[in-house]
Amino acid sequence: MFASNTRGAFASISRRPYICRLCLNATRGARLGTPYTPLRAPLRSIVTDSQPTAKEGTSFRKALKEAAKQQKKDRRAVPTSGAAIQTTREAWLDKWELTVGIEIHAELNTARKLFSGAATSISEAPNSHVSLFDVAFPGSQPHFQKETLIPALRGALALNCTIQRKSSFDRKHYFYQDQPAGYQITQYYEPFARDGHVTLHAHDFPPGTAPADCPITIGIKQVQMEQDTAKTVQQPPSTHLLDFNRVSHPLIEIITLPQIHNPAVAAVCVRKIQSILKTVNACTAGMEMGGLRADVNVSIRERDVQTPETRHSYHGVTGLGQRTEIKNLASVKAVEDAIVAERDRQIKLLESGGVVEGETRGWTLGSKTTKRLRGKEGEIDYRYMPDPDIAPVIIGEDLITHLQQSLPHLPDTIVDTLTKEYGLTQKDAGTLLSFENGARLDYFHDVLYHLQTFGVPSVDKAESGRVAGNWILMELGSLFKDIDFDPSRVTANELASIIAHSQRKTITSRSAKKLLLLKFVRDARSVDQIIEEEDMTLKPLSDAEYVALAQTLLTEKPDMVKDIVEKKQEKKIKWFVGQMMARSAEGSVEPDVAEKVLREQVGLDEPTS
């Protein structure tokens, strides 16, 4: 395969356990009669040497002058001090508006490839799941695997798209080493889904970062099926190997409208789409596992000013600046950071009198700016044409209806239920949903089920939900802070039993936390057995004993009492509560009763919830 910085002749060829497209040229002309034959041929890695091209015809003196001029221009355009940079950036953001559109490529959860019977596993030995069509062997024909359409439809329906009864496949022509046929099969003219949208709510954002205009709805132009490319394995300095296991893996490409004006919103949009696709089991894995990649299109325009630079438009959105595309972003953080870097680069360029060029750029985590990869191809450059070897796909209304009715609850619906029916905050609901791909949420529902069997005094679903959520996220969550969540450490039944004992006041909350810790460290005894053997049963003080103990403590700390009464430092009441518990026998002081008695003694009203 060609090294990235050369177009010269081959220097050497060595045998490797991969397949290179160029090595198949010698077999051109053969005809095949079967749709799929496993191919396990060795890959030849092609190592190339190149020399940089020297810039001729420019004198050294002239080059120095041009460099000095450019440095002066850069110093005028870019402030040097930290405070000046921040002030300048804020002024720039007031002047310039960012616009972002996103293209998300997600690997579909299927057993077979899109146009061959080869398995979609890419984790096994290189080139162990490759059909002849996958490597563009002469005479091989595509065979559309109908079952690949099912997860694609689930994903599109979950994104509120309109399913097209008829869709077709097209050829997108470009040559690159990971594209064996010289074209990619995609859906350009007639995609299978159009006109969807995704809505971002406050709970989708990290706490305290949600924009004031939430909820935000972002349009989806279309969702199309297409085939993936080969995987390129680099062996520095100049050897690239190709693994064709990934070729023709079914993808959906989700194309949003350029309606995003904030890098954080773009990142949350990608995360939300990923969450939706995983909820409906449409894709294999998230960005962290390489199952989803994002390209972002970034443009800048001066606010409320129409200039020749804002003559661009896309699918009805007009007045856009020249866009650049940043390819293959593999994490939510990379999406946000790359957009920020490209936004700042374009603004600096325009502020200094430059012109933004349409191009494809790359991004590396930790970088301060994007880097040019190549000029941006236009639609005409790809020479789209209908694929003559693949018949149109006709989707029955009964299939669409069945999939629509059988979709699982989507994230927004789940959060809405957790907040309205189970009394959780949006933050806690979002946390339950996001942890362990929903495993913590399943655990929450199991705990609620067992609480009902224990007959907890509170029959209010919202109260039970708040209590269970607090124990799962706070008390149990703190124990799993540095290790992976494992529900077998404290089963849902055991946690429900602990909560039930605490709610019935048979043990104090302090004893309940101690009991949770014992079960977490795999104490083999049952919850009831531990309570009995550790003498945790609540032996409450009498009212007179509560009052006497409270008065003793208050008399010992008159300065703190003064702060509480005169300075309204009511949080210091908690200190006295702790002292009452510490000076009493285990399980004899209830914190809420102790606080009530203390407040009565110092003349404070009950706290408002």
> Following DSSP, what letter does each residue of 67-89 receive, concatenated?
HHHHHHHHHHHS--SHHHHHHHH
Low-confidence stretches of the chain (pLDDT beneath 50): 1-57, 75-78, 80
Residue 65 Rama label (left phi>0; alpha psi -120 to 50; beta): alpha
Provide the 3-class DSSP secondary structure of residue 539. coil
pLDDT of residue 43: 36
Contact 173, 378 (CB under 8 A): no
Contact 254, 176 (CB under 8 A): no
Contact 375, 359 (CB under 8 A): yes
**Encoded tokens for 545:** 């004993």
Which helix (DSSP H) or strand (DSSP E) does residue 349 occupy? Answer: helix 332-351
The dihedral sign for the CA sequence 330, 333, 338, 343? positive
**Backbone phi, then psi, for 157, in 5-degree steps?**
-65, -40
- In the DSSP assignment, the letter for residue 163 is E
Return d(Cα 564, Cα 561) in angstroms, integer.
Answer: 5
The dihedral sign for the CA sequence 399, 401, 404, 408? negative
The dihedral sign for the CA sequence 422, 428, 433, 437? negative
pTM of the model: 0.72
Contact 101, 132 (CB under 8 A): no
pLDDT of residue 83: 56
Three-state SS annotation for 45-60: EEEECCCCCCCCCCCH
Return d(Cα 518, Cα 512) in angstroms, integer.
Answer: 10
Return d(Cα 392, Cα 32) in angstroms, integer.
Answer: 23
Return d(Cα 329, Cα 335) in angstroms, integer.
Answer: 6
Contact 300, 97 (CB under 8 A): yes
Contact 506, 536 (CB under 8 A): no
555-575 pLDDT, tens per residue? 999 999 999 988 888 889 999
Three-state SS annotation for 398-411: HHHHHHHHHCCCCH
Return d(Cα 117, Cα 134) in angstroms, integer.
Answer: 10
Which helix (DSSP H) or strand (DSSP E) does residue 222 occupy? Answer: strand 216-227
49-69 pLDDT, tens per residue? 333 444 444 555 566 566 666
Burial of 320 (0-12, 13-18, 19+ CB in 10 A): buried
Long-range contacts, stretch 453-457, CB < 8 angstroms, 24+ apart: 453/496, 454/496, 454/497, 454/500, 455/500, 456/499, 456/500, 456/503, 456/504, 457/503, 457/504
- In the DSSP assignment, the letter for residue 2 is -
pLDDT of residue 458: 57
Return d(Cα 44, Cα 14) in angstroms, integer.
Answer: 6
Return d(Cα 508, Cα 537) in angstroms, integer.
Answer: 8
pLDDT of residue 9: 32
Kindly report the CA angle at 546 between 544 and 547, in degrees rounded to 5? Answer: 65
Integer-rounded Cα radius of gyration of the chain: 32
Which runs of E-coded beta strand occur in 109-179? 162-163, 166-167, 170-173
Residues facing 83 on adjacent strands: none
Burial of 21 (0-12, 13-18, 19+ CB in 10 A): buried
**Encoded tokens for 266:** 């773009």
**Backbone phi, then psi, for 348, in 5-degree steps?**
-60, -40
Provide the 3-class DSSP secondary structure of residue 552. helix
Give buried/exposed letters for 573-589 (b at 16+ CB in 10 A, else e).
beebbebbbeebebbbb
**Encoded tokens for 220:** 């989806």
